[in-house]
Every structure is written in structure tokens, then in C-alpha cells.
Amino acid sequence: MEHETQFIGQSATFQDMVDRTSLASVLDRPVLVIGERGTGKELIAERLHRLSQRWDKPYIIMNCAALPETLIEAELFGHEAGAFTGATKSRAGRFEEADGGTLFLDELATLSTAAQERLLRAIEYGEVTRVGASRPIRVDVRIVAATNEHLPALVEQNRFRADLLDRLSFEVITLPPLRAREGDIEVLANYFGGRMAAELGWHDWPGYSPRVMAQFEGYDWPGNVRELRNVVERAVYRWDNARQPIDQITFDPFASPWQPRTSKPPFDSAPSGTISPATATSAASESTATTPLLPPAAPPPSTDGRIDLRAIVDAYEKNILAEAMARCRYNQKIAAEALGLSYDQIRHALKKHGLN
């Protein structure tokens, strides 16, 4: 997936966030960017750098969760030759690389206590000491950090330093989730859809059917803009009629009647009181895989000894539908995805068996 640099949205919450970012960018102070996964924290960090006085200086990115704890300090502050096994030559750290510019620390909450302490000293004194060195090096770096954690709560749990949080939270920009950006789902869906259509060589963008737009608006989007983009692009490339509005989407690409059995259900990140397609799919899969649904007892043979096979099959199908609907809290859309059916197919099946 290529690097995305554009801001797209028209909702008031989105515009307020962008304006606040622009205002904070001109000040040479640390900024914390808080938001759920997929909300665009990386874009905000880059915007803070591009609109600052440091725009023509280095912009260095470090994902704190991408490295083992034993290497984080060496990555941040550098190391001298022989400082540890494998350090055959000296190497500058991210602070030195970002000198004069901006250092973006993603997944900040994953830093170890030791790394937090050294980061605090670097921010307070503007100096870093390479691992294995005795003399500090002066650096001029602006820190922008991002996380999806509530850092004050981590402070209370002694998992994050309170003094470091004080240093970093001159300004805190909290990104609104997609479900709170009124009107932006349609804007983003058409933008990503039109771009994917152009990539596939379509002459025109046909848009979406009203049914699909209703599904877009009714979904909770736990993965936010990143998830929306994946859903849209998948729907466009699977659609086989470029002249007709797209009328079929799949929220969960793993939904399949043949998915592998699992001993434990996947973690459900949906907010309390909601049910995600992954959870619904897991529940339906559990009912058909780990505890198979059994058909009702076969009806007794007729007087001539024949058994009505169609009646048995219909009863079995009705039993599966009823069980799936109950497990998916009677949400037809989620139950359809869990069973590998389209929305129209499940509505027809429910009507056929009188389960509406």
C-alpha cells in the first residue's frame, strides 16, 4: 500500500482536527497524537512537520513497537562499536539523524521504562549519549509522538512515566474515529472507489447502489479509514460490471464457510454493546464446526415406506438459519456474512422459512 499523504473529509469534527494541527505545527513544541488504529496518526505527524519551520530538515520515523526492547535504546540514541554483540561499527541513532528536524515516535506506549527515562533526558537537556559512549551529543529535535493508548491511565498503572507525559503533552491532538465523522464515509468511499476504478482502467466511476451505501453508513468501522479503503478497493476489483453501481461488498475478508477451526474465538475489538462481523463469523463457525448443528429428527416414513428428503433438507436449512440469526443477534447483514451469503440471499431464505 503506497504512502498516503492526502487529507479527505468535510465533517466539522474532521475540519476542527485539521485546523488544530495546523495551529500547533508552527510552534516548536512536542505534540502527542492520539487515535484509534486507522485514523491517520501518521498523516497528522507528517503535516505537523511539513507546516513547521523545520519543513526542509529531516523527518525521521521510528515505530517503537517494531523493535525488541533490547535494541530500542540503540536505535534511538545510537551506539559505539563493540557496545554489544553484533555492534561491529559505530552508528548514529534516530535523534542524531533527525537533528534540526522532527522525530516521529509511533506506538509510544510500548517504550520500556529504561527507554522512557533516557527519552526524558534527551528532551530535557537536548543531549543524547550513544550506547557504549561516555560523552553526550547535542541535538535539536522536535518530538511528535503517537499512540492509541490512554496515557494518563498508563501513568496511574505505573506503565508510563508521569514526568515524560508532562514533557510530551504540550499539545494533544485526538483524532475522531470514522463513525464520528458525519458525511465523511460517503466522501471517502467514493474517493477510494474512483481511484481504484481508474487503476483498473474503468472509463467512469459507477458509484454504489443505495443498499451498499446503507451498509457503509450502518457499519461501525473499527479499523476506521484504513479499513474503509480496504473494503472499497476489494469491492471494486471484485465487481464484474463497470457500468453498474457496485452492489456487493465484504467487510470481513476472512469470512468463509471453510475457514480453519479455532479453539478460541478471535479477540473482539468492537465497542461494548456491538458485535463485529469477525465475532459473528466466529460464532457461526463455532456452531457449524466445533458444535455442528444437527437436523431435527427425521419425520416418520409415510405409509408406503418413503421418506420426504426435501422436507428433511428444508428443516435442516431452517435450523441453521435460525441458529445463525440468534448467534448474530438477529442482524441479517452480519448473519449473511457469517454464512457466506449475500444480503438478498439471506432475506430470501428467511422469507422462505418464515423466519422474518
Residue 302's pLDDT is 56
Averaged pLDDT, 274-278: 46
Q: What is the DSSP letter of 149?
A: S
Average pLDDT, the chain: 85
Residue 272 is predicted with a pLDDT of: 43
Q: Which helix (H) or strand (E) holds 338?
A: helix 332-339
**pLDDT value at position 192?**
96
Say what the pLDDT of residue 219 is: 94
Most confident of 161-165, 261-265, 301-305: 161-165
**Where is pLDDT greater, at 336 or 168?**
168
Which of 76-85, 256-265, 284-293, 337-346 is predicted with the least confidence, judged by mean pLDDT? 284-293
> Could you tell me what percent of the chain has a pLDDT over 70?
86
Q: What percent of the chain has pLDDT over 90?
A: 55
Measured CA to CA, the distance from residue 110 to residue 332 in angstroms comes to 39
**CA-CA distance, 179 to 37, in Å (whole number)?**
13
| CB-based contact 175:37 (threshold 8 Å) | no
- Residue 73, pLDDT above cutoff 50: yes
Predicted TM-score of the model (pTM): 0.69
Give the Cα separation of 41 and 24 in Å (integer). 15
Cα 93 to Cα 62, 271, 319: the distances in Å are: 10, 39, 62
* Residue located via cell numbers 561516555: 134
Q: Which residue has the higher pLDDT, 303 or 2?
A: 303
CATH of domain 182-238: 1.10.8.60
Q: pLDDT tens for residues 318-333?
A: 888 888 888 887 888 8
pLDDT tens by residue, 93-106: 899 999 999 999 99
Residue 2 and residue 226: Cα distance in Å, rounded? Answer: 12
Domains 12-176 and 182-238 belong to one CATH topology = no
For the segment 234-275, what is each residue's pLDDT rounded down to a tens digit?
999 999 999 999 999 999 998 887 878 766 555 444 444 444
Q: Which of 51, 7, 52, 27 is nearest to 171 (CA)?
A: 27
| 70 vs 343, residue with greater confidence | 343
Whether the CB-CB separation of 204 and 236 falls below 8 Å is answered with no
Query: Does the pLDDT value for residue 34 go beyond 60?
Result: yes
**2 has a pLDDT exceeding 80:** no
Domain 12-176 has CATH 3.40.50.300: yes
The structural domains of the chain, with segments of one domain joined by +, span: 12-176, 182-238, 277-352
Taking the C-alpha atoms of residue 334 and residue 341, their distance in angstroms, rounded to an integer, is 10
Q: Residue 290's pLDDT is what?
A: 39
Distance CA 335, CA 347 (A): 10
d(Cα 339, Cα 324) in Å, to the nearest integer? 8
Give the pLDDT score at 269: 44
